[in-house]
Amino acid sequence: MNMAQSGGSTMLPYGKQWLDEDDKAAVMQVLNSDFITQGPAIERFEQKVAHYVGARYAVAFCNGTAALHGACFAAGIGPGDEVITTPITFLASSNCVLYAGGVPVFADIKKDTYNIDPTEVEKKITERTKALIPVDFTGQPVEMDRINEMAHRHGLVVIHDAAHSLGAEYKGKKVGTLADMTMFSFHPVKHITSGEGGMIVTDNEHYYQQLLLFRNHGMTKEPALLEKNDGPWYYEMTALGYNYRMTDLQAALGCSQMGKIDQFINRRREIVAFYNEAFQNMPGLITPFQHADGQSSWHLYVVRWEQERFTVDRKQLFEELRENHIGVQVHYIPVYTQPYYRAIATSEVICPEAENYYQTAISLPLFPLMSNDDIVKVVSVVKSLYRKYYFDR
């Protein structure tokens, strides 16, 4: 596989899937089979991901949000239960708590990694806290030893939102083995794609059974779980679940993509190394910091522009990058500042580091399909704007 082929679009996006003929053939094989949903491809995909990360069980869902909702159900989160998470994440990381009737609580981020700060998490724990949802922002693992120690001490469930970090490692262990439950996302901008899709991996059999139940209407045919059994057709609904099933079409694509996961991650790391070298010795432009205990799988490459060092604000920089066909993005707006969250908040939420981060962050394009010419173009445009607007105070 030639890792330097160009995506070929006028606007270079911040992220994009890479589908080859093997991926298309895998989907066609399912289309020509007897099962396009609820068939054998789903279990094959689950087994591939579980084996890759070293987990005992895996349960596929139609998307990552549904997977997080399922994890909240398995953890027993209900009305009034508090769950602590980060404000610098996609909405799903806290929305899943609301779906379960719980209360999201936001702890501030670390100034260097932009991940949730364990010290701030500790401050937010109350007698109502039921779980923690740490998020591996950009693909860099959270300091999971500190999170797990805290969770064990307070009797909390850890749901690891690893939507950004399939293939990442923390202290030599793959993400997927570091928490009670871990969620991966397979959206097209992620490390592999199944179109849409998500998965929870766990070593806990109880959580596994609850996840299976939840994704399929709360319905089971397992003889050991039935109150009675009228015959082979018989099923019982034992909980209020949802139709969150993944199709075999999605699973077949995911299986094919998993065969290329390490190549995709290696290419991401090559691009990051090029960026890091190109952007060194540029005061006022902050490149990503990597924690010594983690090895990122690099979903995003975020740079921060120290506003006091430039004669232009972040909005204009963003617009000019896009005018130059660099499809930058901002990840993310602090969740608690969203109108819905402000409306339901019972007290004012303030996370200074998260708000400072948001004012200065821009995500540059980073995906395996980028050609070397694409990378050079990004660097060239960034340096051009830097020279245009930077001034030394």
51 Cβ contact partners less than 8 Å away, ≥ 6 residues apart: none
| Cβ pair 245, 62 in contact under 8 A | yes
Structure tokens at 89: 């994440």
Report pLDDT for 8: 45
CATH topology of domain 261-389: Aspartate Aminotransferase, domain 1 (3.90.1150)
Structure tokens at 260: 């290329």
Strand-strand pairing, 181-185 and 157-161: parallel
Strand-strand pairing, 173-174 and 169-170: antiparallel
The full set of domain ranges for the chain reads 21-258, 261-389
Report pLDDT for 392: 75
Report pLDDT for 4: 44
Q: Which residues of the chain have pLDDT under 70?
A: 1-9, 393
| Cβ pair 363, 328 in contact under 8 A | yes
Domain 21-258 in CATH 3.40.50.300? The answer is no
Report pLDDT for 5: 46
Structure tokens at 392: 């030394």
Report pLDDT for 393: 55
43-46: long-range contacts, CB 8 A cutoff, minimum separation 24: 44/251, 44/255, 45/194, 45/199, 45/246, 45/251, 45/252, 45/254, 45/255, 45/258, 46/199, 46/251
Report pLDDT for 182: 99
**Residues linked to residue 201 through DSSP beta bridges, in sequence order:** 58, 182
Report pLDDT for 7: 44
Q: Give the DSSP per-residue string, 2-52.
A: -TT-----SSB-S------HHHHHHHHHHHTSS-SBSSHHHHHHHHHHHHH
